[in-house]
Chain A
Amino acid sequence: MSAQQQRMGVAAWIAVALAAAILGLLIAAPMAMVVGQAFSKGLGGWWQAVTDEETLRALRLTAVVALVAVPINTLGGLAAAWWIARFRFPGRRLAVALLDLPLSVSPVVAGLLFVLLFGTQGWWGQWLQARDIKVLFAVPGIALATLFVTLPMVARELLPLLQSQGSDADWAAVTLGASGRQLFWWVVFPRMRWAVLYGVLLTAARALGEFGAVSVVSGHIRGETNTLPLHIEVLYAEYHSQQAFAASSLLVLAGLLALVVRRVVAARLPKGAPHVH
């Protein structure tokens, strides 16, 4: 008996060590690399890289794009989650499929979609060019591509939550005479505000860090249409490793913040709702 326990102990130990090695080499090491390189010239070096004029310009553009994408996809996500979770209508499954579709589309293909719409050989390219409206290789195109890749994130957090909560409380409020507005602010929203916050942070982190889709539609005009991830690529290609990783650390910070909130949300959610994005 004790021999068997000991043997199982060794097997368990090997499994733990193997898992630790996989996670360490594959995942923790790249993260350590980012932090280590970002601060390889000390805090001053990090600050200098982060406050570099071109980096700041890229950061500003990235922030603008995120500020467009987050509110639109949050409102759309709220509406879609309420509609799909609380009503039955023809085409409901199609709506869910369409909502999930951006997750299966390569970021590069997402960018291509908007080139097909707004490029010179695209549907509306000539029309826009005649009126001197720039969409592609300009901020609107970058915002649209970002909107597409972050489209489902809020909705996918809220939909399973609304479905698992059921509509009893909503019906009770309506029966007691609550208006639509009262129902939303007093009953529906308070019960999903953490999930909304997580969805918002997830959308923001992805919008800040999106690379492939934005790379296709940006045109890579330095100081004008280079977002922070694109600027990081330039810095890295020009062998400014420390500066590239210092700029990266800003994006990583946003991602980590989303993860922390996710932990809080998960702790507050009813058990059983799987949380994979």
Chain B
Amino acid sequence: MAGRAKVPRLPGLGLSSTVTLLWLGALALLPMAALVIQAAQVPLGRWQAVLADPRVLSALGLSFSGALVAALLATLAGGLVAWVLVRYQFAGRWMMDAVVDLPFALPTAVAGIALTALWGPDGIFGSFCKQFLGLDVAFTRVGVVLALVFVGLPFVVRTVQPVLADLDAALEEAAACLGASQLQVLTKVLLPPLRPALITGFSLAFARGVGEFGSVVFIAGNLPNRTEIAPLLVVTRLEEYDYAGATVLATTLLGGSLVLLGLLTRLQRRPGQS
């Protein structure tokens, strides 16, 4: 090799960067910039007025608290399902494994009407709950959370499952042999290595739940101040041609969920107690 050759690199830099920048720029950056700039153009007084509206507060509160509660339930249930799938051998295990993915195959609106048909007042599960537990599921906040758990559960299972599979079961057995109680095995041996995966699963379920629309609107009943979720209120504001109101609401929804997701990522990076 004569002289100093330029630093070699793989082909395709020019093409791939150009295509990516055009594609991301036009379809992601530009629309997001529109939201940010439009939100910045809304006067501060208008922001305050929109966010002080009890109906808006109730919708935002329901979307965030519903998503948090649902993500928590999905993490508990998903952790259990992942555990069962990884640690036990039983007939029908493959079927259980396949069922976990089904929410990925059901479009949100289809899931929404199917859940409503099941858990509504005339549905099989809904009438059962009403008759024996005195509990209305559809058209209440319980229904909102139910739909969000449905959406979030597969994210938790599919995040926790591979990590759990990599954990040696001998570790748990050793702890048990050394006299650890089942609770100690769970909190001291299992949870520390599973923590990052559980937090990731929780975050994915939460992120999806905050903005979820299709699977929730049918079962929620959409009563203002009671079971109306924030994304639906965005739609309502748009239908009233209240662009500023919709923009403020959407920005708060997106900003809030990005902040919470950022906090969860930090929580995940913090090393657990050893």
Contacts and interface: CB of A to CB of B under 8 A. Distances in A.
B174 interface: no
A189 interface: no
A232 B29 contact: no
Interface in A54-105: 72, 75-76, 78-80, 82-84, 86-87, 89, 95, 98-99, 101-105
Interface in A12-46: 12, 15-16, 18-20, 22-31, 33-34, 37
A196 to B, nearest CB: 15
A174 interface: yes
Interface of A is mostly: helix
A66 B104 CA distance: 17
Contacts of A275: 158
Contact of B250 (A109, A147, A245): A109
A180 to B, nearest CB: 4
A111 to B, nearest CB: 8
Contact of A26 (B16, B153, B162): B153
A112 B107 contact: no
B254 A104 contact: yes
Contact of A98 (B13, B28, B250): B28
Interface string B95-129: 01011111111111111011101100000010000
B235 A16 contact: no
A258 to B, nearest CB: 7
Contacts of A248: 107, 110, 113-114
B253 A106 contact: yes
Interface string B124-154: 0100000000000000000000100110010
B80 interface: yes
Contact of A106 (B99, B105, B111, B212): B212
Given A30-B106, A30-B118, A248-B113, A79 B13 contact: no
Contacts of B71: none
A84 B98 CA distance: 33
B198 interface: no
Contact of B31 (A16, A117, A119, A272): A117
Contacts of A114: 31
A103 B258 CA distance: 11
B99 A27 contact: yes
A25 B86 CA distance: 21
Interface string B171-195: 0000000000010000000000000
A15 B79 CA distance: 11
Nearest to A29: B118
B247 interface: yes
B207 interface: yes
Interface in A222-277: 229-230, 232-233, 236, 241, 244-245, 248, 251-252, 255-256, 258-259, 262, 272, 274-277
A143 to B, nearest CB: 11
Contact of A22 (B77, B117, B231): B77
Interface in A122-181: 122-123, 144, 147-148, 151, 167, 170-171, 174, 179-180
Contact of A113 (B35, B107, B207): B35
B77 A104 contact: no
B213 A211 contact: yes
Interface residues of A, number: 96
A192 interface: no
A83 to B, nearest CB: 4
Contact of A107 (B13, B81, B213): B213
Contact of A117 (B13, B34, B99): B34
A205 B231 contact: no
Contacts of A50: none
Nearest to B83: A15
Nearest to A236: B113
B99 A23 contact: yes
21 contacts: A15-B84, A22-B153, A23-B81, A26-B150, A27-B103, A30-B118, A34-B110, A76-B20, A76-B23, A79-B17, A98-B28, A106-B231, A108-B211, A113-B31, A121-B241, A211-B213, A245-B113, A251-B110, A252-B106, A262-B101, A276-B159
Given A30-B150, A87-B13, 7 more contacts: A16-B88, A33-B118, A79-B20, A80-B24, A104-B257, A109-B253, A210-B107
Interface of A: 11-12, 15-16, 18-20, 22-31, 33-34, 37, 72, 75-76, 78-80, 82-84, 86-87, 89, 95, 98-99, 101-110, 112-117, 119, 121-123, 144, 147-148, 151, 167, 170-171, 174, 179-180, 183-184, 205, 208-212, 215-216, 229-230, 232-233, 236, 241, 244-245, 248, 251-252, 255-256, 258-259, 262, 272, 274-277
